[in-house]
Amino acid sequence: MGRKAFLVSNFRKRWFFKRAIRKENKQPALHGDRISEDILREAEIELKYKGYLERQKKQAEQFKKLEDNRIPEDFDYMKIHGMKTEARQKLTRIRPASLGQASRIQGVTASDISVLMIFLKKH
C-alpha cells in the first residue's frame, strides 16, 4: 500500500471512531447497537499504535534470528579486522554462544554484529 493510500485508510478509520462515539455520553452510535468501551478503547489503541506494534514485531523476529545464529565455541574474534578492538576483546573474554547474546554486550555495536555475522557466513 502506498503512503497516500495508507494515509487515506488511516483517516477513514479515525473518522469512523470519532463518529462512532458520541461526545456527550461516550456511547457508540452504530445503528443502535452498543459496543463496550473496552472494545472501542482496544480498537482505538490498535489504530493509534499499529505502526509501532508492527515495528516491534519485526524487531522481535530479528532478535529471534540473531539468537538462532550460533557462534562456535572456539571462534577467534581477533581474526576479524573490521570490528573495533574493544568489541573483539569483550567478545573474546565473554564468549557469547549466539549473535543475540553478542548484541547485548555493552561496547559491541550493531556494526560490530554485522561484521561478525558476515564473517561467520563466509567461514
Residue 61 shares a structural domain with residue 24: yes
What residues make up the domain containing 17? 3-67
Higher pLDDT, 49 or 33: 49
CB 51: neighbour CB atoms within 10 A?
A: 10
- Total domain count for the chain? 2
Is the whole-model pTM more than 0.75?
A: no
100 grid coordinates: 543475540
Q: Which CATH number is 78's domain given?
A: 1.10.150.570
Interval 55-73: pLDDT, tens:
888 888 887 888 888 999 9
Choose one of 38, 67, 96: the last residue of a domain.
67
Choose one of 50, 67, 84: the last residue of a domain.
67
Residue 84 shares a structural domain with residue 36: no
Residue 13 shares a structural domain with residue 63: yes
CB 59: neighbour CB atoms within 10 A?
A: 10
